[in-house]
């Protein structure tokens, strides 16, 4: 595996602004024009560009020279990659790190989705890990197919290197699921934890190098996160950094597997 793997979510896009308003109950920004924009074509806002500048400065100050730079081919990730301002970066595009597919519901306001796809909306609330939009991908799909594809490629081609990937929020969420070996229950818990939010231009820095001793582990063992924050007084963006967290490979005994199963009540009496 690479010594360091840095993942960056794209900066705020025009679609993010529309989606945020929709979540607040305002569908005014949905129009025939916006609903016909292909997901891959959305541009960054001015705030998104400023977020990318802040993230790029943080990366430059905290990570040694980058050996490989990869970006999703979507416009918003291309724009983010360029605005990181990484001197001498040579970018390669890779579709495997593209946005999760939202299928048929991609251009729809939330209210329309709830009305036209009522059963699918129910499934989303019941099981967000395995739920997939009609003709789209679940988080589990992205994790087990595309994330593992990326990690396998990096294992073969970028061993001992420092690799940067500019991608999308759900791809990063899926990467955490795989690299940090979350159980289904951990995913469901973290999915509701606001402190785990992947903001626009959040940086996830994985490393095999111990932050305390400098020793190199055989696989990724530590992760830290940083995300842009706008000072409303000055209008300047800065990065808010979280401390390193260690994670390990967990193995369960027969008894532990049964204990997890017993947390679910049986619905049928014998």
Residues making up the binding site for substrate = 9-16, 76
Contact predicate 4/162, CB 8 Å = yes
CA distances from 81 to 163, 173, 257 (A): 13, 19, 43
| Residue of 10, 168, 205, 227 marked catalytic | 10
Residues 107-114: contacts with CB under 8 Å, at least 24 apart? 107/34, 107/35, 107/36, 107/37, 108/35, 109/22, 109/27, 109/30, 110/22, 110/23, 111/27
Q: Give yes or no: 168 in active site.
A: no
Question: Residues at the annotated binding site?
Answer: 9-16, 76
Give the side-chain half-sphere CA count within 13 A for 117: 19
- Which listed residue (33, 53, 79, 99) is catalytic? 99
Task: State yes or no: is 53 an active-site residue.
Answer: no
Q: What is the DSSP string of 74-129?
A: SHHHHHHHHHT--TT--EEE-GGGSPPP-GGGTT--HHHHHHHTHHHHHHHHH-TT
8 Å CB contact between 10 and 80: yes
Active site residues: 10, 99
């Amino acid at each position: 595996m690479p010594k360091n793997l840095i993942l960056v979510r794209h900066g705020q896009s025009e679609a993010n602004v529309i989606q945020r308003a929709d979540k607040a109950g305002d569908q005014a920004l949905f129009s025939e024009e916006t609903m016909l924009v292909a997901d891959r074509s959305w541009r960054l806002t001015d705030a998104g560009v400023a977020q990318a500048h802040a993230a790029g400065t943080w990366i430059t100050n905290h990570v040694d020279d980058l050996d490989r730079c990869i970006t999703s081919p979507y416009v918003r990730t291309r724009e983010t990659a360029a605005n990181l301002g990484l001197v001498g970066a040579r970018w390669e595009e890779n579709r495997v790190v593209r946005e999760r597919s939202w299928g048929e519901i991609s251009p729809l306001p939330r209210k329309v989705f709830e009305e036209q796809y009522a059963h699918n909306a129910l499934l989303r609330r019941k099981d967000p890990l395995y739920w997939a939009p009609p003709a789209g991908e679940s988080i589990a799909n992205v994790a087990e197919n595309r994330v593992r594809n990326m990690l396998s490629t990096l294992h073969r081609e970028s061993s001992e290197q420092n690799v940067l990937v500019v991608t999308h929020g759900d791809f990063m969420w899926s990467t955490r699921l795989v690299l940090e070996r979350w159980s289904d229950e951990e995913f469901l818990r973290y999915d509701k934890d606001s402190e785990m939010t992947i903001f626009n231009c959040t940086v996830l820095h994985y490393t095999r190098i111990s932050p305390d001793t400098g020793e190199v582990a055989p696989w990724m063992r530590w992760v830290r996160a940083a995300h842009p924050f706008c000072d409303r007084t000055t209008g300047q963006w800065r990065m808010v950094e979280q401390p390193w967290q260690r994670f390990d490979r967990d193995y369960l005994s027969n008894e532990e597997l049964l204990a997890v199963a017993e947390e679910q009540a049986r619905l049928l009496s014998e």
